[in-house]
Amino acid sequence: MGSFPLKYNMLSLYLYILVPHIALKTPRNYGEMEAQALLSWKGSLLNKTRSTLPSWTLSNCSSHCNKTSTPCVWFGISCNDAGKVVKVNVSSLGLEGTLLSFKFSSFPNLDSLDLSSNELHGAIPAHIGNLSQLTYLGLSYSYFSGKIPWEISLLKNLETFLVVQNQLNGSIPVEIGNMKSLKELSFGNNNLSGIVPVSLGNLTGVTILELFETQISGSIPLEIGNMKSLLKLSLNENRLTGSIPTSIGNLTGLTSLYLFGNGLFGSIPQEIGRLKSLTYLSLSENSLVGAIPTSLEMGNMKSLEDLNMGDNHLKGPIPSTFSNLKNISDLVLSYNQLSGTVPEKIGNLRKLSLLQLSNNMLSGHLPQSLCLEGSLVNFTAKENYFTGPFPKGLRNCSTLYRVRLGKNQLTGDISDVFGVYPNLDFMDLSDNNLYGKLSRNWGQCQRLTSLSLSGNNITGPIPPEFGESTNLAVLDLSNNQLVGEISRELMKLKFLNKLNLSRNDLSRLLPSEIGNLSKLNHLGISSNNLSGHIPKQIGSCFKLLSLSLSTNRFHGTIPSQMGDLIFLQILLDLSRNKLMGEIPSGLGRLRFLEKLNVSHNMLSGPIPSSFEEMKSLTSINVSYNQLEGRLPNIAF
């Protein structure tokens, strides 16, 4: 019994130490610790952004309602059943500040932290590695700078790490290759440098890897082929060089592969044909050479919706088996050195909406069945060697939005090949061998903004219905064999900024309504048979940068209103007409003009002294007139 007091005292001491420790672990005390940490960080934010978190405050009421001190009821905070903070989501609130005052060690149970789409800046603190239970970390679309701390690799449970569009620099820590729980890793749109770490090949559970728009260089490591869970791989718009590794063929579950905008060279590996689940494949804007691989020629990649191999140095034919890509919507092969003909059956691809074949060495006829039963929106095949007629399937292709077929050798009568295109915005058939008359249907293309048919053998008049295409901004019918007058209906096109009717056989007067075209930047009517006076209303086209009326039969005087065209910069050419009288002194106000040509007329009188003010002139020609005096002292 003598020992009882000692045992009693020891028990009391043990309880004295233990009870406060237990008290610290209660939900209430955990809540207070986490609340204080969150309030401390809130207090470090700039004043103007603190107001976006009004619920982040402790209650001022008496002790009977102290339960409100828990942050679990605050905006963006989620807790588990024990009252411990497990999620913080304050994305897209415009918060401005740093993470230096964020006490990560106060959140041992935090599972998700989303701070994305704010104005947070500064470094990502190394002690973020204390969040041992974290599975989601979102820091995208902010202004974080400095290096990615290697301590991130201590987050062994992390599954998603997103830091897209920040200002991070330095290399990607090799230790990230130890984060075996990762499923999504996105570093895109930063200033990262160095190489793609070989250690990323250890991340066999990653499904999304995005390293786009950084400054990483070197080659794509062979080990990338170990990441067999990948569904999406984005390495586009970097400084990567070398060849595409054959091991990429191991990624058989891949649905999206983006390697465009690098300096990759060599041939496209045959193994890429094993990626039968691909829906998006972009290898454009590299220096790839050789033929399109036979593994692609098999047409086995039947899930493909978007295939872009443009802007490389590929040679050889377009595989005929591309016609088996029944789900393809975008096919881009432009800016290569491809040759041969376009497989006719490509025109049967009903889902095809974008077909770009421009700037190759392709020849033969375009597929006549294009868009016959499909939904083609954008078709470009300019600067090739195509011959034959405009594809018949395009006549009733109401989905067309943009067509560029210029600089080929297309032939045929176009009088009746164009339908009505309610969605058409741009059409360029310039520099071909097309003939026939202009279709009246162009007037019903109400959304058309640009039409170029220059450099063909088109005859007949310009239909007045063109004036009904009221959104036209560019109309180029130059270098044809058009006849008749310039219709006043064209002067209703108030959005025109470029009108080129040069090198035709148009006659009669230039309508005085030309002054209605107040948005014109470029007006070319040279080398026709226009006569009469130059209308003074042309001075209302005050936005003109270039004006050419040369090689016509205009007579009378140069209208003084031309001096109002103070923004004329590129050219004023009135040469080879029958103009007479003096040169208006008001032309001296054209102080931005670089080239002036009034030669081969019947002008007389003195050369205006106001020309001294035309300091931008680099070329002036007043020859073959009856002018007196000498040219101003202009520094050419």
Q: Apex CA 127: angle with CA 137 and CA 143, to 5°?
A: 55
Residue 31: which residues within 8 A CB-CB, separation 6 or more?
Answer: 69, 70, 71, 72, 79, 83, 84
Domain membership of residue 540 (yes or no) is yes
100-131 burial, b at 16+ Cβ within 10 Å, e below that, comes to eebbbebbebbbbbbbbbbebbeebbeebbbb
For 629, the domain range is: 524-635
Domain membership of residue 326 (yes or no) is no
Res. 301 pLDDT band, cuts 50 70 90: confident
Res. 95 pLDDT band, cuts 50 70 90: very high
User: Cα(629)–Cα(607) distance, rounded to whole angstroms?
Assistant: 6
Around Cβ 66, how many Cβ atoms within 10 Å?
14
- The pLDDT value recorded for residue 550 is 98
Q: Helix or strand or coil: residue 8?
A: helix
Find the mean pLDDT for residues 329-336: 98
Q: Helix or strand or coil: residue 170?
A: strand
- The pLDDT value recorded for residue 621 is 95
Query: How many domains are contained in the chain?
Result: 1
- The pLDDT value recorded for residue 125 is 97
Strands 85-89 and 77-79: antiparallel
Q: For all residues of the chain together, what is the average pLDDT? A: 92
Res. 67 pLDDT band, cuts 50 70 90: very low
Domain membership of residue 372 (yes or no) is no
**pLDDT over 80 at 48, yes or no:** no
The token pair at 544 is 């003109």
Find the mean pLDDT for residues 221-250: 98
Region of poorest pLDDT, from 22-26, 33-37, 177-181, 266-270 = 22-26
- The pLDDT value recorded for residue 16 is 41
**pLDDT over 50 at 583, yes or no:** yes
**pLDDT over 50 at 201, yes or no:** yes
Q: Apex CA 244: angle with CA 238 and CA 250, to 5°?
A: 115
pTM, entire model: 0.90
Domain membership of residue 600 (yes or no) is yes
Residues facing 119 on adjacent strands: 96
- The pLDDT value recorded for residue 634 is 64
Torsion of CA 537, 538, 543, 546, to 10 degrees: 180
- The pLDDT value recorded for residue 109 is 97
Res. 141 pLDDT band, cuts 50 70 90: very high
Q: Which residue carries 């090689």 as its tokens?
A: 551
Region of poorest pLDDT, from 56-70, 121-135, 174-188, 428-442 = 56-70
Find the mean pLDDT for residues 325-350: 95
- The pLDDT value recorded for residue 547 is 98
Long-range contacts, stretch 290-293, CB < 8 angstroms, 24+ apart: 290/266, 290/314, 290/315, 290/316, 291/267, 291/315, 291/316, 291/317, 292/268, 292/316, 292/318, 292/319, 293/267, 293/268, 293/269
User: Cα(557)–Cα(547) distance, rounded to whole angstroms?
Assistant: 17
**Residues 568, 591 contacting (CB under 8 angstroms):** no
Find the mean pLDDT for residues 165-188: 97
- The pLDDT value recorded for residue 30 is 58
Domain membership of residue 552 (yes or no) is yes
Phi first, then psi, for residue 437 (nearest 5°) are -110, 160
**pLDDT over 70 at 491, yes or no:** yes
Domain membership of residue 554 (yes or no) is yes
pLDDT in tens, 450-483: 999 999 999 999 999 999 999 999 999 999 999 9
The token pair at 450 is 């640009």
- The pLDDT value recorded for residue 69 is 67
Domain membership of residue 257 (yes or no) is no
**pLDDT over 50 at 13, yes or no:** no
CATH number where 594 lies: 3.80.10.10
Domain membership of residue 565 (yes or no) is yes
**pLDDT over 90 at 52, yes or no:** no
Find the mean pLDDT for residues 313-320: 95
